[in-house]
Copies of this chain bind each other. A is one copy, B any other.
Amino acid sequence: MLNDPLRQALPAPGPLLLTACAHRRQQLEGRLAGLAALVPAGVPASRNYPANTYPFRASSHFLYLVGVSLEGAVLLVAAGQSALFLPARDAFDDLWHGPLASPEELSALLGLEVRPLASLSSALADRIPAIAPCMHAQGLASVRAVRAARPVQAKEADHQLALALVALRLVHDEAALAEMQRAMDVSVQAHRVGMAATRTSTFEREICAAMEATCSRAGFGTAYGSIVTVHGEVLHNHHHHHALRAGDLLLADVGSESDSGYASDITRTWPVSGRFSGSQREIYELVLAMQEAAIAKVGPGVRYRDVHLTAARVLVDGLCQLGVLRGDVDALVEDGTYALFFPHGIGHLLGLDVHDMEDLGDLAGYAPGRARSAQFGLSYLRLDRELEPGMVVTIEPGFYQVPSLLADPARVGLRAHAIDRARLARYQDVRGIRIEDDVLVTAQGSAVLTGALEKQPDQIERLVSA
């Protein structure tokens, strides 16, 4: 059993992660103070017909507490009564899906009582349990019926569970950091492979394929839909069918995910030809300066919105020096004019989700009492908390020329007259640039976890031309 604890059916997690999961369950039990909480792993989502499913990946809350993607399993967390409830296996599951460890073996591996899912209702007796969010949960019909009869109590229980999960997951333990670092190291390789593949590629999709294959060769999936495009001005561009032209910049936002579910998130932008044009290099260096200033700002006690505004100020200052923007730097930051060229947030929490805990809305991202700004651009900021040691955030400034924004800035309340259109025209070969790294908040300040990946323009040119 030790060599292949989950048999053919699943890769086995390491002992560091399994020990951490046990500790996390204990901590959650303590925070729930008598409340019973259900954390479903979920089931695979269907694609074009029921049996043709997307690859299964358990919910992040389940992975945080159990460490393994077990289809249909439900974790019960309750003081002195925590247990893992497993659906009955079909008599032919061995034939179609492979043998799985027995409940006894799983129990020994996970350090957790394992029971049949059918016994969950009786284990709950008449309690109203909280249920953690799960995109594709199943098998909780009877529990949901009990909850539906007491909606206020169920909602309050869910809120209490969400707060407890946020408190725990905001700050990463050693096992989480180790899993994320594995994912980041693979992503660093993928970006280098992508740069090297550019000179021999004709379409975006060829670079994307080379990058994703670097992840999957190493046993990693992707944490989100890869963005690999010469149209970086479309922020979430998930199509890869465009031809590459010599004067284009390619923006690649690709991050791998470990089999334990931990994410990485890296963006680099490089010239298809291997050489930045003069105008591209000017803007690239400005975005790099934004990123360096933002990373320098990261540290314990710092409000993340100020990290965003630090980058915005560097952008405005640089664009004023280039003559693209006109006006008072303070005012152009404060009134959000910078968002004409930098219309998204500086970054977000990173962990088991690439936007960590976004399934809880802004509960993780926004400190109590804070809400999204109404200002265009700032409204897209996903994180507004004071940073704490152990948090991991992305720092990902960008510069974009979005035709629909520039055509009518007033539509989003921005000041068109601040732009010098003639000077801006000099930069027409820059559609989108973004530079993104993953940063750990430390007691002393910060550590760039993806710092191994080159980002100076000369380095980038060498990697593309190699």
Contacts and interface: CB of A to CB of B under 8 A. Distances in A.
Interface of A: 8-11, 45-55, 57, 59-60, 91, 94-99, 133, 135-136, 203, 205-206, 208-210, 212-214, 216-219, 224-225, 231, 234-242, 259, 261, 343, 352-355, 357-359, 402-405, 411
Contact of A402 (B52, B54, B94): B94
B235 A52 contact: no
A369 B122 CA distance: 43
Contacts of A57: 47-48
A337 B143 CA distance: 44
Nearest to A216: B209
The 6 lowest CB-CB distance pairs between A and B, nearest first, are: A213-B213, A98-B234, A49-B359, A209-B216, A209-B217, A11-B241
A412 to B, nearest CB: 8
A396 to B, nearest CB: 15
A52 B358 contact: yes
A224 B219 CA distance: 18
Contact of A59 (B48, B212, B411): B48
A244 B170 CA distance: 39
Contact of A8 (B46, B208, B242): B242
A46 B137 CA distance: 12
Name A's interface SS. loop
A135 B50 contact: yes
A95 B54 contact: no
Contacts of A261: 48
Given A8-B239, A239-B11, A404-B94, A353 B49 contact: yes
A98 B230 CA distance: 12
A320 to B, nearest CB: 24
Contacts of A219: 203, 205, 240-241
A411 to B, nearest CB: 8
Contacts of A402: 94-95
A252 B236 CA distance: 33
Nearest to A211: B213
B217 A206 contact: yes
Contact of A216 (B11, B133, B208): B208
Contacts of A203: 219
Given A51-B358, A95-B405, 6 more contacts: A9-B234, A45-B136, A49-B355, A96-B234, A99-B403, A206-B217
A8 B236 CA distance: 11
A219 to B, nearest CB: 5
Contacts of A9: 234, 239
B225 A55 contact: yes
A206, A209, A238, A261 — which one has the most chain B CB atoms within 10 A of its CB? A209
Contacts of A59: 48
A241 to B, nearest CB: 4
